[in-house]
Structure 1
Amino acid sequence: MSDPDASRELFDALAMVNRKLRAVFDARVKERGLTLPRARALFMLAKKDGINQRELAEELEIETPTIVRLLDGMEKQGFIERRVEPSDRRAKQIHMTDFGRSVARDIQNLASEIREDVLEGLKPQEIAVALKVVSTIARNVQSIAKE
């Protein structure tokens, strides 16, 4: 069993890091005319261009009406286009435009710069230990969530 005070401090630190990282990233993407949800969607589409709206909503862990509004805005900005899915005409595949891919690359570079700044001063082995610890915590959370 772990020390309750140390456990509480760890959880507080993890929560604070998450909040601050989101705030920093959100502020930086706003400078580029984006919102955090749109940047997250661009990240996902850069990995899985052409997925359908339902899959994208699941990946981003947001509700269907929210993804529709998000995609409407992204389409108006020229980041994406919706195409009818060949196997189901009601479903729409989401594809990035050339402009969207360009913005996604910019956001990926921004995220890389933030990671470098955040991890500055840490040795590779320290990062590896932190990754192992956080990965174990994430697996435990997933296990609890499935119960």
Structure 2
Amino acid sequence: MVDYHLHEAIKEAGLDLTKEQMVVLKKLHDEDGLNQNELAYLTYRDKSSLARLLSKMEKKKFIVRKPSASDKRVNQVFVTSYGKEIFESAKPFVGKLIKRMEHAISETEKQQIISILKKVQTNLS
């Protein structure tokens, strides 16, 4: 349900962006220059599906991959200025959706949900 509403929010913004691409842009916004293995781990994706996603993002000029200076077999991923612009354009729409989802949910209830979801995540790891 959240995926659907997120997709609709991004579409409302008129952006050519998927939820998966938004997640990658968020991770690179937090720490630009991650290598593909780190990015796969942080986004809970297998390496091959992440490589396909990154290829699509490169075609859209959201990101650029460059060989690591220390190990040419490893690609580092950097967000482009256009990718930053797209990410910043999407943030208000995503924020609006989050506010809508959190309506009438207390801070205590939010913390309980987070705690329970972390336990589920740990159980599945």
Q: TM-score, normalised by structure 2?
A: 0.88
Structure 2 spans left out of the alignment, 5+ residues: none
Which has the bigger relative contact order, CA under 8 A and spacing at least 6?
2
Structure 1 or 2: larger helix share?
A: 1
**In structure 1, what is the Cα distance between the partners aligned to 2:67 and 2:3?**
33
**In structure 2, what is the Cα distance between the partners aligned to 1:43 and 1:109?**
13
Query: Is 1:79 paired with 2:58?
Result: no
**In structure 2, what is the Cα distance between the partners aligned to 1:144 and 1:84?**
36
What corresponds to 1:57 in structure 2?
40
Q: TM-score, normalised by structure 1?
A: 0.76
The amino acid that maps onto 1:119 is: E
The amino acid that maps onto 1:128 is: E
Q: Report the secondary structure of 1:89's partner residue.
A: coil
Structure 1 spans left out of the alignment, 5+ residues: 1-19
Superposed CA deviations along residues 1-36 of structure 1, whole A, max 9, x for unmatched, are xxxxxxxxxxxxxxxxxxx11111022324411122
Aligned match of 2:92 in 87, 90, 109? 109
Query: Is 1:38 paired with 2:17?
Result: no
Superposed CA deviations along residues 116-138 of structure 1, whole A, max 9, x for unmatched, are 22233x2xxx5311122112212
What corresponds to 2:9 in structure 1?
28
Q: Report the secondary structure of 1:90's partner residue.
A: coil
Query: Is 1:128 paired with 2:107?
Result: yes
Is the 1:84–1:90 Cα contact (8 Å) retained in structure 2? Answer: yes
**In structure 1, what is the Cα distance between the partners aligned to 2:108 and 2:94?**
22
Change (3 A) 1:60 1:99: same
Coordinate RMSD, CA, aligned: 1.6
Which structure is larger by alpha-carbon Rg, 1 or 2? 1
Task: Say which is worse superposed, 97-106 or 34-43, in terms of deviation.
Answer: 34-43
**In structure 2, what is the Cα distance between the partners aligned to 1:117 and 1:139?**
22
